[in-house]
Amino acid sequence: MMMDGGMMGGGMMIAMGLVWLLIVGVLVLAAIALVKYIRSGRER
């Protein structure tokens, strides 16, 4: 485990967290859109 630069390690951790939040957010929005699409499709 090379933790020479504290800022570098922290930056990487923050970047990974932001990427995960972005992926989860997109997946949640896609799931909501899919549910709405299916519901609107059944009503017609």
Q: Is the pLDDT of residue 5 over 60?
A: no
Q: What's the average model confidence in pLDDT over 9-36?
A: 93
What's the N-to-C CA distance of the chain in angstroms?
58
The DSSP letter of residue 37 is H
* pLDDT confidence of residue 12: 82
Buried b / exposed e along 7-28 (16+ C-beta atoms within 10 A): eeeeeeeeeeeeeeeeeeeeee
The count of C-alpha atoms lying within 13 angstroms of the C-alpha of 30, restricted to the half-sphere facing its C-beta, is 6
Q: What are phi and psi of 4, to 5 degrees?
A: -65, -55
Q: pTM to 2 decimals?
A: 0.61
